[in-house]
Structure 1
Amino acid sequence: MVQPANTLPQLEPAPAPHRTADDIRSPWLDFFQSFIRHPMAIVSSIFILLLLMVAIFAPWLAPYDPQTPDWMALGAGPSAAHWFGTDDLGRDVLSRIIYGARISLYVGLLSVTLGMILGVFLGLLAGYYGKWLDMLIMRGSDVLFAFPGVMLAIAVVAILGPGLNNVIIAVAVFSVPVFARIVRASTLSIKQSAYVEAVRCVGAPDRVVLLRHILPGTLSNVIVYFTLRIGTSILTAASLSFIGLGPEPDVPEWGNILAMSRNMMMAGKWNVSVFPGLAIFLTVLAFNLLGDALRDTLDPKLKK
């Protein structure tokens, strides 16, 4: 039978391409494999996890009550009874450092979280709507940028008064403008993307565009700076406590412990100042190393 001239031969559909394991790899697996290539990131992560465990289980790990003095060992050096020695009131330094981890991590995490929330919100508004709102938010950020971070925190605490909650507010205030600038820059780039324009064309409200399509694209930069900022906040809070603008002097906070050790340093009692200073140094270093590793992992421009 002769096939009609106007009939085209039927083509069989092409077989579906075979997907290998590399094609279906999870982005979390890619992140983990990139992250573990940084040895210092692993060390810093382990140190931070141990520090969190110490802060959580401080009542069980501390050998003594941080406020109870030992009248038989006033200003004693390191010994079997008191591994890090005692201060001038006979309080165990190791116990105060363990309990101080709670306060320092609490101040660092909470203050940076508050600053991040407000900064991300302002950055999204400034980058998405622009015009007078962008100018108002950015000029306000420039005013805050004109002051060094510690000086701005001191000014805020001087206005609000000393206290742990006011230290958190002060540290949060000087974290806001940097988060706002980071998110604004990312928003200006993402809102020009084709998929964002498509979502806006179908009539999606601004709330949906900002929260579902723009905000996720800014999170990598926010996470990196959030990690780096925790170390800076812990150091700033300790500085405020050291000059008497933090919590009450008897509170076992690392900056307070250093402040109480000033007189003992002149008498050669090095242990009361060295050990809390070492705790601050290692904690800030660990968060900075972790932030650098996250930046190298999450930033596609730095990936090899």
Structure 2
Amino acid sequence: MNQSGESLAPDIAATTTLRSPWRDFWQTFIRNPLALVSGSVVLLLIFIAIFAPWIAPYDPMSADWASLSSLPSASHWMGTDDLGRDVMSRIIYGARISLYIGIVSVTIGMVIGIFLGLLAGYYGRWVDMLIMRGADVLFAFPGMLLAIAVVAILGPGLNNVVIAVAVFSVPVFARIVRASVLSLKQAAYVEATRCAGARDRVIILRHILPGTLSGVIVYFTMRIGTSILTAAGLSFIGLGPEPDVPEWGNILAMSRSMMMAGYWHVSVFPGLAIFLTVLAFNLLGDALRDTLDPKMKK
């Protein structure tokens, strides 16, 4: 209380900055140099994918017959392929396709995996056994082999690659969510909500699902890089989009004969694009894990 008898409590309350989980997350995230670098690379890739028609110096499908298989030069910074198409333009447009495959496929796998994981962890018994045994069957196949099997059944094509990559993402998300649900459904606040008469749907969506999202977000980020690598592998062996589509795996596949002839640029630059993209998403996932996990913070 001051000399005039007025309380100082309102002034103290007004000058106190309220902390929020989002603000704590952001402050911890920006202190991590690895998070800033990887996040900047991911944002740059998204920017390139969105504005590819304005960034690319040439049409990725147009041929320059005067510059067939030319090495990097002032007019073509990354050279041209055997049809005279600008490699840099094809890589820029390829970022759009690769990010589309990675983000969409992992999102589909995440949504289905979260749904199955919530059911398995919350209801248990035969529901848990049925879902987890199905996940074990999918885990028995290596991810790339499972994707090849799905594409072989559905046929080559961009959308079929998305489905194939989504299929082998489902069981991992289901297992991550199930493990979180098994611990969260025993929490005191969940038991109190259940005793108050709340429906299972309300308990799952409002009280259990939010607690599973930190692990899901981390794995979602890291899985995008794996999905891009898998999609490029499918395209490389001829099970991806049409050969003329400027996708990174397609570019590598068409450069095999040129690489043997000494035209290194057609293989090196798309390979670097895949490497840097996968590395950026993996490092961003590690940074998110360090930020979201309280044990890692300590």
C-alpha distance after superposition, 1:232-283 (max 9, x if no partner): 0000000000000000000000000000000000001000000000000000
Per the alignment, residue 126 of structure 2 pairs with 132
| Identity of matched residues, % | 79
Question: Structure 2 unaligned runs (5+)?
Answer: 1-8
Q: Say yes or no: does 1:92 pair with 2:86.
A: yes
Match of 1:217 among 196, 211, 218: 211
Per the alignment, residue 241 of structure 2 pairs with 247
- Structure 1: distance between partners of 2:17 and 2:268: 52
Q: Say yes or no: does 1:48 pair with 2:33.
A: no
C-alpha distance after superposition, 1:15-67 (max 9, x if no partner): 99x66977721211111111122211101111111111111111111111000
Aligned residues: 289
- Structure 2: distance between partners of 1:103 and 1:179: 24
Match of 1:203 among 178, 182, 197: 197
Per the alignment, residue 233 of structure 1 pairs with 227
Match of 1:32 among 7, 26, 31: 26
C-alpha distance after superposition, 1:97-124 (max 9, x if no partner): 0000000000000000000000000000
Aligned partner letter, 2:180: S
- Structure 2: distance between partners of 1:231 and 1:63: 26
Output the TM-score relative to the length of structure 1.
0.93
Match of 1:59 among 53, 58, 74: 53
Comparing 294-303 with 18-27, which one deviates more in the overlay?
18-27
Question: What is the correspondence of 1:1-304 to structure 2 with a 5 Å cutoff?
Answer: 24-304=18-298
- Structure 1: distance between partners of 2:225 and 2:31: 23
- Structure 2: distance between partners of 1:206 and 1:228: 31
Output the TM-score relative to the length of structure 2.
0.95
Comparing 280-289 with 20-29, which one deviates more in the overlay?
20-29
Q: Secondary structure at the match of 1:88?
A: coil
- Structure 2: distance between partners of 1:187 and 1:22: 36
- Structure 2: distance between partners of 1:72 and 1:22: 68
- Structure 2: distance between partners of 1:77 and 1:229: 34
Q: Secondary structure at the match of 1:86?
A: coil
- Structure 2: distance between partners of 1:39 and 1:62: 30
Q: Secondary structure at the match of 2:246?
A: coil
Aligned partner letter, 1:124: L
- Structure 1: distance between partners of 2:131 and 2:260: 48
- Structure 2: distance between partners of 1:231 and 1:38: 20
Deviation at 1:85, TM superposition (A): 0.3
- Structure 2: distance between partners of 1:259 and 1:280: 13
Aligned partner letter, 1:32: W
- Structure 1: distance between partners of 2:169 and 2:16: 40
Deviation at 1:92, TM superposition (A): 0.4
C-alpha distance after superposition, 1:140-186 (max 9, x if no partner): 00000111111110111111111111100000000000000000000
- Structure 1: distance between partners of 2:84 and 2:200: 60
C-alpha distance after superposition, 1:186-234 (max 9, x if no partner): 0000000111111111111111111111000000000000000000000
Q: Secondary structure at the match of 2:297?
A: coil
Aligned partner letter, 1:278: L
Aligned partner letter, 1:157: V
Question: Structure 1 unaligned runs (5+)?
Answer: 1-14
Structure with bigger helix share is 2
- Structure 2: distance between partners of 1:280 and 1:154: 19
- Structure 2: distance between partners of 1:284 and 1:30: 27
Per the alignment, residue 3 of structure 1 pairs with none
